[in-house]
Amino acid sequence: MTVLFTAWGYEVTLLEMLSVIASIAAISLGIIGTRWAWPLWILGSVLYGWLFLEFDLLASAALQLVFIAAAIWGWFGWGSQGAQPKLLSNRHRSYWLGFAILAWAALNPLLKELGAVATQLDSLIFVGSLIAQILMVMQRADAWIIWIVVNVIATIHYGRQELYFTALFYALLVIMAAQGWVRWLRMMKSKSLM
């Protein structure tokens, strides 16, 4: 891989840098609720899928395929007016929590069988991201809370895997997800959709 620069002994590759740039652009557009977030999400997902395969993070790599499919769905689902956020009902929150627990319990042993590294955290990131992404496409503001939790876990996980630039990126995503939560709540209040 082409190394762009070295910081504190860590080599930042062109692939990792492009992955981060495309993803930050996509998430920034997602925060403001424009459908143009989705094409950039596809680009960032393709790049990160490649990077994660290089590090044998199989669930993280597979998750990028889910993100690509969700981005296509999001492009058509959001429409030209962009996101029209709403909150989940408590009943639907409990359904998603139950799904998360079951999916994590099923995915973790599968990843171990495939020889993936760090299966517990990788599977937790996969399941949490899957749910958050689906809720983003469904225009549910609750997605941002899930993104905050997932991004905190991912920051730790990728740091332990010595993907330091990506770990720093995920720390930034915690802040961006908090901004998304606040902005989408404001959008809901201004449109009286709460």
How far apart CA 166 and CA 158 sit, in angstroms, is: 7
Q: Are 44 and 192 in contact (CB under 8 A)?
A: no
Mean pLDDT by 10 residues, the chain (194 residues): 87 93 96 95 97 86 93 91 92 97 92 79 92 95 98 94 89 97 94 62
Query: What confidence score (pLDDT) does residue 113 get?
Result: 86
Query: What confidence score (pLDDT) does residue 100 get?
Result: 96
pTM above 0.85, yes or no: yes
How far apart CA 151 and CA 172 sit, in angstroms, is: 9
Query: What confidence score (pLDDT) does residue 111 get?
Result: 83
Q: Are 79 and 18 in contact (CB under 8 A)?
A: no
Beta strands in the chain (DSSP E): 3-7, 10-13
Q: Are 140 and 88 in contact (CB under 8 A)?
A: yes
How far apart CA 192 and CA 149 sit, in angstroms, is: 27
Buried b / exposed e over 2-15, threshold 16 CB at 10 Å, is: eeeeeeeeeebbeb
Query: What confidence score (pLDDT) does residue 119 get?
Result: 78
